[in-house]
Each structure stands twice: as C-alpha cells, then as structure tokens.
Structure 1
Amino acid sequence: MKYSIKDIFNIPVKESLCVEGRPQTDNPFIPEVDSDYVFRKEILSDVLSWYMMGANDGLYLTGPTGSGKSSIVLQTAARLNIPVMVVTGHSRLETPELVGHHVIVNNSMEYVYGPLAMAMKEGHWFLLDEIDLLDPATAAGLNGIVEGRPLTIPEKGGEVIKPAPGFRFIATANTAGSGDRSGLYQGTLRQNGAFLDRFWMVEVDYPDEVQERQILAKAMPSLADTVREALVSYANEIRKLFIKGEIEVTFSTRTLVRWAKLVYLFRPASAEGKNPIIHALDRALGYRAEPESREALHELAQRVFGG
C-alpha cells in the first residue's frame, strides 16, 4: 500500500509524493514509532530512493557515533510497517550466527535459522550494525546475499532460501570500510573492496544546529528555548575543538540529548551551590575525557553559560 511521504515522515514535500509500505500488523520485529523523532530530509531521501530502487544493492550508512545511522533505518521501517532483524557486528561474529546452526531440543538435534536467514525467508530488512568490526573474510562471504542472490544452507541438506520480496540488506559503520585513521574507533577493520562495491554509500553526519534544536525541543520541551540553543551551540564548539585535535572527546547528538535530560534532572543542584550545567556535562561527556580536556570543557561551559 502507498503512504504519503509528507504525512508519515512529517517533512515538507509535495502531497503527491508517496512510498510503498506494508499494512499494519502485530509483527514483533516492526520497530516502534518514536513520535519525537525528527527526520532529516536529505538522509531520508537517500534511504527511500535506495528502498524504491529494489534489492540489487545493499545500503551502507557511515558516519560518526551517535549521528543517527541506525535510527533513520528503524524509524523509516517503523512508519512503513517493515519488520527489521538487527544484529550488532563484532570481530568474532561468524556466518552460523547469522544464517543458523544446530541446537539440541528434547535430546535431538534441530536446525534453528539465524536472523539473516529469517529475514530472507520472510522478506524483512536485515540491519547489521558496526559492520566494520567484522573480519573482512566473514563480511566478504555475504557478497551474494547483499546483491539478492539465494542462500544455500549445507547443514540443512542443501536448503536454498531465495530472498522473499521486500528483503533488504543494510549496514552501518563509523568508517566507510577503508579503516580508521582517527584512532577513535578501536577494532574497526579495513573491508574487502568487492564487498563494499555492492552497497549504496550514504554519509550520515550530525544534524545542523536548527535540526538539533528541533530534536532537543521534542526530547526536552521543559527546558527553556535559550538553554536548548546554548546547549547546541556549546556542542558545536566542542566538535570544532575535536576536529582540530585539541580535545579527544566530542558530542554526538545522542550525548547532546542525554546532557539536556541531565541538565533538567539536576536543576535542584543549583540550590546546593552547584552548577547543574557542568554537573550534568561531566556525567554526559566530561568523565570520558582526559583531565586537561575536562578542564577545557568546564572553562568553555563557564564562558557560554556563566555561573
């Protein structure tokens, strides 16, 4: 069935623009709708364009931590009533964890399908988070699956699973698969070029200031507008210092929302002579920083927010 893009994603586009979705069901793998979620038109456009093009390419979303790579996929699927099987990648992840394996049930061996095989059989989306943590050989073994070819399971008598209509393969990562030169994302690995060639690549950066103010307004409407604006401005100043290499921690949008919530939570601290802004800042980000960087965080906060 068709859904109005303007209505279900709440973005300013023509009323006539529609996207194919599925009827509402009680499928437990359909993500829950976050009514406070703010879609970014440019990223949503890429995701929907890829989705409507068919299943011959995977989708690879790359960007810094907490920029909204996974959430854009899950919230898009939530509004289109598409079930999503989600797996988080790691260096020891092997194909049987994705495809399936034998287990003992009532003293007999029984084959249990893994999340990838289930997604293919049922026509779900398959989301592999942190794919750049995978061993490149394991990732390259998924080449055929990404481009829509059938999956053969030798352990189940050579069963062949053809991808059901609607199946899509999606990956997220902090790097674009070419390794991490920043030193921030320990454990990421350079991926096989043939594997990466099977994906649409979409870069997901942090939202701009206007978008982040909208996000904070929905997440923490109880905070004054001036406070939310100052929080966003401060976060962007920290990001500039991080890019220059003057500080080793930075603000993701996720951390920014956490900070805003903590600021509201710690308001009573002001009655004890504490600065709730800095008190919350340490718990949201500061305690992850080296002592010198934490001091710099405090100094900038004092300049931005005062006492």
Structure 2
Amino acid sequence: METTDTINIKPKTKISSEEIPFYKPIDREVEVFQHAFKNRLPMLLKGPTGTGKTRFVEFMAHQFEQSIITVSCHEETSSTDLIGRYIIKGAETIWVDGPLTNAVKEGAILYLDEIAEARPDVVVAIHSLTDHRKELYIDKLGITVKAHPDFMLVASFNPGYQKGFKELKPSTRQRFVALSFKYPEPKIETEIVQTETGLDKDTSKKLVNIANKIRNLTELGLTETVSTRLLVDAAMLINSGLPKRLSVKVAIVEPLTDDLEITQALTDLCDLMI
C-alpha cells in the first residue's frame, strides 16, 4: 500500500492579519501577480535559493485573502502524491484527495516549490490546469474536475542549480507567466534584514556587504551563494547575543561549503568585514 511520507506538504492555511508576511517589492512583481490571478494564469517564479520566492507567494495569498497549500517537491514527488490515492481505513478502501485536487476543488493557491525536482509525471498531471481547459483529470477515479474560479497554480525553481540536469522543458515553461527573482539591491536587502530581525542598521548593512562580496567571488565555484535567508539567520543570532564573527561563520560561511580551504578563506574575509 502506498504511503504519504514521500512528499512534504504544508497544510492549507489562511494567514491572519497578525501574521502578515513582510515582503519588500523589488520591481513590479506584485502588479504582475495581481493580473495573473485576475486572468487565472499560472505563474512560474525563477531565481536562486533565498531570494524571497516563497515569501512572495505567502504575501500575495494574504493580499487576496486566499488559502495556500505549499508542496516542497523532491525527486520522489509523483503525480499520485499531488492528485490523491486509495488508502485502507478500517475494513474499507477509501479515496483521499491530494493537495492538488484539494486546491482545484476549493479554490486555493497551490505552490509547487522547486517543481524541477519532481518526477516528470507531475508536469504531465498539471498540463490541463495550465491551459484553457483549467481542469484536472483523475485517472484512478475516471473523472475530470473543473478548477474553482479562485484556484491558482504557482511553481518555483532555481535555474542555476545543477544546470543541465534539473531543468524545465521549454514546452513546460511556456505554460506559465514567469517572473525572475534576484537578490535585492543593498539598501533594500539591509531594510529586509532589519525588519525581519530587529538588528541595528549598521550591522545589517555589514552583513549585506559580506553577502555581496561573496556573491562576486565566482572563482570559488560555490554551488549556491549567500541568500537573503542566510543573512536573516545570521542577524537573528547576533541579535540574540551570539558574537558577530561566530554568527556569521555558522549562519553564512559553513552552510555554503565543506571545503576547508574555502571555509577558512571566507571566514577570514567575513571577520575583516564584520
């Protein structure tokens, strides 16, 4: 019997006014999302890890007072995980809708985080939801479900991660309205770090300077660079009393690499800048 332990699903939530996600618009992404939602167009968010893609979706869900279901995709995520499956309950076998089916029926925003990591059958399953049909075919039940008028499909992926290995096909990309996310300008990123953590402006600015310095060190060959998320982590540690240099080392340097020489070089650089 199939189990549901191969998929990481965040339950459907509606964010209250006390939990408004802080999001600082970088360009005109809020306007684009508003029009995409109005026209029932699926959206694809492209960009490096930690550039605010997930936070943006949560922010927009709050703006529209919409429930949001988040699925963190990985190499084992299948269409069955999303659509639903039969399970044994007591002495009978019953059908249980998956997160995609629930969102389609109830009119929630379904956010497929890192969709390129999922199995190919996931993309096939959402095809009819990304064109004029706006419907979901459930083959195990032999039925087709028309999408609720408020349903919206949002997916994200990191184009730079394992380039050439985990990529979306051009035919899939063209089914979405796409937005590119990048790291904010220093002034905005400093404001984000301050607002998220309460850290003072001067130290927040130093953390942002460290991030931009490392981001420009392309010769190190890092798989991922310093994300805004890592800066927020470092700022939280500093604000809670952990020494600045140690906070930067454990929250920024160590997550980036296991290479001892690169770790030491980055640690020395950060010690000077902080």
Per the normalisation by structure 2, the TM-score is: 0.86
Distance 1:88 1:171, change over 3 A: same
C-alpha RMSD of the superposition: 2.2
1:291 to 249, 260, 272: 260
1:277 to 244, 252, 258: 244
Aligned to 2:229: 254
Q: Which is further off, 72-81 or 136-145?
A: 136-145
Question: 8 Å contact 2:114–2:155 — kept in the other structure?
Answer: yes
Aligned to 2:8: none
Distance 1:228 1:100, change over 3 A: same
Aligned to 1:21: none
Runs of at least 5 residues in structure 1 that lack an aligned partner in the other structure: 1-26, 183-187, 268-275
Distance 1:62 1:297, change over 3 A: same
Aligned to 1:51: 37
Give the alignment of 1:184-199 within 5 angstroms.
189-199=166-176
Question: Could you tell me how far 1:32 is from its partner in structure 2?
Answer: 4.8
Pair 1:237 & 2:213 matched: yes
Aligned to 1:18: none
Question: Could you tell me how far 1:39 is from its partner in structure 2?
Answer: 2.4
Supply the AA of the counterpart residue of 1:174.
N
Deviation sequence 1:81-121 (CA, Å, 0-9, x none): 10112111122222111111111122101111111111111
Supply the AA of the counterpart residue of 1:219.
E
- Counterparts of 1:100 and 1:302, CA distance in 2: 51
Distance 1:36 1:212, change over 3 A: farther
- Counterparts of 1:62 and 1:96, CA distance in 2: 25
Question: 8 Å contact 1:136–1:191 — kept in the other structure?
Answer: no
Pair 1:210 & 2:183 matched: no
- Counterparts of 1:99 and 1:36, CA distance in 2: 28
Distance 1:28 1:141, change over 3 A: closer
2:202 to 226, 230, 246: 226
Deviation sequence 1:49-71 (CA, Å, 0-9, x none): 3222x12x310001000111111
Runs of at least 5 residues in structure 2 that lack an aligned partner in the other structure: 1-10
- Counterparts of 2:71 and 2:196, CA distance in 1: 27
- Partner of 2:149, secondary structure, is coil
Aligned to 1:181: 163
- Counterparts of 1:227 and 1:173, CA distance in 2: 31
Question: 8 Å contact 2:12–2:70 — kept in the other structure?
Answer: no
Question: Could you tell me how far 1:31 is from its partner in structure 2?
Answer: 3.4
Aligned to 2:55: 71
- Partner of 1:285, secondary structure, is helix
Question: Could you tell me how far 1:265 is from its partner in structure 2?
Answer: 2.7
Identity of aligned residues (%): 24
